[in-house]
Structures are given as structure tokens and as C-alpha cells.
């Protein structure tokens, strides 16, 4: 009992000494509690309830039935989950590849390099909704620039409904997502490239190493930590990128481009199945959390 009292007194003294720091942190904690933790906890709780506001505004606790329905009876859920993996993996990898190539180019001593670095930031600072609307106009089957120039140069003979065909909609979505996200990857990778000492390249050149060996023996290993965190951030950002797909296709045609983030919206605000929508959102959150923990553990072990 005395030991507990001494421990409590110790923590009170420590809190008093650092009261200024706690006061500065308090607004961020309150903000996270209201706009982060509370919505998350409410969504998880709602996923265990049946709630259709067209029938009744009162939630009815049903346990795991929403999850059982999604995994066994929902004919669209696994298609949506597969689409999400295609969207995240394809978009993130393309962004990294294009961003890496751009960073390697902008890291060289080129005339007008500063101007090109500024232009390269345009996609990054452009709002996602604006990017989605712009690409939807570009891909419009009747008066979009894509069809106009492809037909003018004789590549196609007739207009193509890019966002209305199963064989073209995903390449166009990935193209738009790559254009939007590659600049962030480029900035991160370029920052990593500039931390590499030039002496290493000079030593490799003296030893007669080719550009291929220099890249894989010096450049790539030294920026691997930056690549690891960039891949993770890019993957999570793409996973939650509801706006791009919704503005361009709204998950169509049918459910062919629906991902988990758009499926939450469909279930909740179009079908008014708030419990099932919350179950999709909770599943999405848990999947990203587990993936992130495994990814961080793997990359830390490799380092």
C-alpha cells in the first residue's frame, strides 16, 4: 500500500514538472479522441449491429452476423476485395517506378533542373477530386483529348469508352493514379538520393564499376529504408483513396472498379445498411493494420 502511494506521488510530481508539455499536447489528444478514436470505436460497435434507417433508427445487436454475411453470402465482397488489391499494388508500384525514374533524372545536373522540379510538384499539390474530374474529361468518349489525339494519329479508328469497358477502365484508373502520386514518390526518393555521398560513386568509377553495378550496389541499398517507408505510406494512401475512383467511375461499370472504400459508401449511403457498411470499414481497417505491422516487422528485421 505504501509502495503504491509513493508511486502515485512520484507520478504526480512528474506530471507537475511537465505540465507545460502536457498542456501543449492536450489539444492534439482531444482532437484525435473526437475525430479519430470516437468514429473508429463507433464504427466497430456499429459493425456488430443491424441498422437500416429506412426500417428503424434503433441499432439491433446481432454479433458477427454482418461479417458472416460479407464473407459467405455477399456476392460482391470478394470481387471488391480483389479490386482493392489490384488498385493498391498496381498503383503503388507504378508510382514508385515512375517516381524513381524521375528522381534519378532530377538528381543529375541538368539545365533548368529547378524549374522541372517545380513542375513535377504540380500533380502532388492538385486536389484528388480535381485530378479525377480532369482525367474523366480527358477520357470522355465523345470529346475527350485521349480519343481525339489517338484518332488523329491513326492509332484508333473509332472512339473508345475508356471508363465504360472492363478491359480499359483499370489501365486508365491506374494511369490517373500514377500521374497523381508519382511526384510524392519522386520527392521522397530524390531526398534519399541527395544524402548519398558522391565519394562512393567516384570510388566505384575508379574501380571500373558499370552504371548497372553502381545502381544495384550503392544507390538501391542506401535508399532502401526510404523506399520501404514510402511504399508503406503510398499503399495506405491508395487503399483509402475513395475520391479518385468515385469521381471517375463511382465503382462502375457494375462493381468492376469498386474497392473497399467505395463499397463502404455504397453499403452505407445507397443501400442504407449501416451495420454492413461499418463491417466493411472495420475489416478494411484491420487488414491495413495487420499488413502494416507485418511489413514494418519484416523491413526492420531486414535492416
In a domain, 229, yes or no: yes
Domain around 240: 77-257
- At 303 the pLDDT is 59
Give this prediction's pTM.
0.86
In a domain, 40, yes or no: no
- At 64 the pLDDT is 93
In a domain, 298, yes or no: no
Q: Which parts of the chain have pLDDT scores under 50?
A: none
- At 11 the pLDDT is 63
Specify the number of domains making up the chain. 1
Distance CA 47, CA 62 (A): 9
In a domain, 51, yes or no: no
| CATH code of 199's domain | 1.10.3720.10
- Cell numbers for 239, please give them: 487503399
> Measuring CA to CA, how many Å separate 277 from each of 81, 100, 268, 283?
14, 37, 5, 10
In a domain, 61, yes or no: no
Residue 80 near residue 239, CB atoms below 8 Å: no
- At 180 the pLDDT is 94
- At 9 the pLDDT is 62
> Measuring CA to CA, how many Å separate 78 from each of 74, 75, 169, 262?
8, 7, 19, 14
In a domain, 283, yes or no: no
Amino acid at each position: 500500500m505504501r509502495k503504491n502511494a509513493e508511486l502515485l506521488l512520484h507520478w504526480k510530481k512528474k506530471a507537475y514538472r511537465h505540465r507545460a508539455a502536457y498542456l501543449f499536447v492536450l489539444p492534439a489528444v482531444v482532437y484525435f479522441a473526437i475525430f479519430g478514436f470516437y468514429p473508429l470505436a463507433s464504427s466497430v460497435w456499429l459493425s456488430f449491429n443491424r441498422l437500416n434507417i429506412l426500417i428503424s433508427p434503433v441499432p439491433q445487436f446481432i454479433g458477427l452476423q454482418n461479417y458472416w454475411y460479407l464473407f459467405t453470402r455477399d456476392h460482391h465482397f470478394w470481387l471488391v476485395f480483389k479490386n482493392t488489391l489490384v488498385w493498391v499494388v498496381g498503383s503503388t508500384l507504378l508510382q514508385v517506378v515512375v517516381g524513381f525514374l524521375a528522381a534519378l533524372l532530377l538528381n543529375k545536373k541538368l539545365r533548368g533542373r529547378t524549374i522541372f522540379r517545380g513542375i513535377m510538384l504540380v500533380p502532388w499539390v492538385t486536389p484528388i477530386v480535381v485530378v479525377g474530374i480532369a482525367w474523366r474529361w480527358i477520357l470522355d468518349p465523345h470529346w475527350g483529348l485521349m480519343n481525339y489525339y489517338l484518332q488523329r494519329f491513326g492509332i484508333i479508328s473509332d472512339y473508345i469508352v475508356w471508363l465504360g469497358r472492363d478491359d480499359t477502365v483499370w489501365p486508365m484508373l491506374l494511369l490517373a493514379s500514377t500521374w497523381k502520386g508519382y511526384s510524392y514518390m519522386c520527392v521522397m526518393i530524390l531526398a534519399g538520393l541527395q544524402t548519398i555521398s558522391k565519394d562512393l560513386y567516384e570510388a566505384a568509377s575508379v574501380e571500373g564499376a558499370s552504371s548497372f553495378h553502381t545502381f544495384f550496389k550503392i544507390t538501391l541499398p542506401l535508399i532502401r529504408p526510404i523506399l520501404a517507408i514510402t511504399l508503406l505510406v503510398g499503399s495506405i494512401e491508395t487503399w483509402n483513396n475513395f475520391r479518385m475512383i468515385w469521381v471517375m467511375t463511382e465503382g462502375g461499370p457494375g462493381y468492376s472498379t469498386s474497392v473497399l472504400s467505395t463499397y463502404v459508401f455504397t453499403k452505407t449511403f445507397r443501400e442504407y445498411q449501416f451495420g454492413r457498411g461499418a463491417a466493411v470499414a472495420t475489416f478494411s481497417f484491420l487488414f491495413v493494420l495487420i499488413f502494416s505491422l507485418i511489413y514494418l516487422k519484416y523491413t526492420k528485421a531486414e535492416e
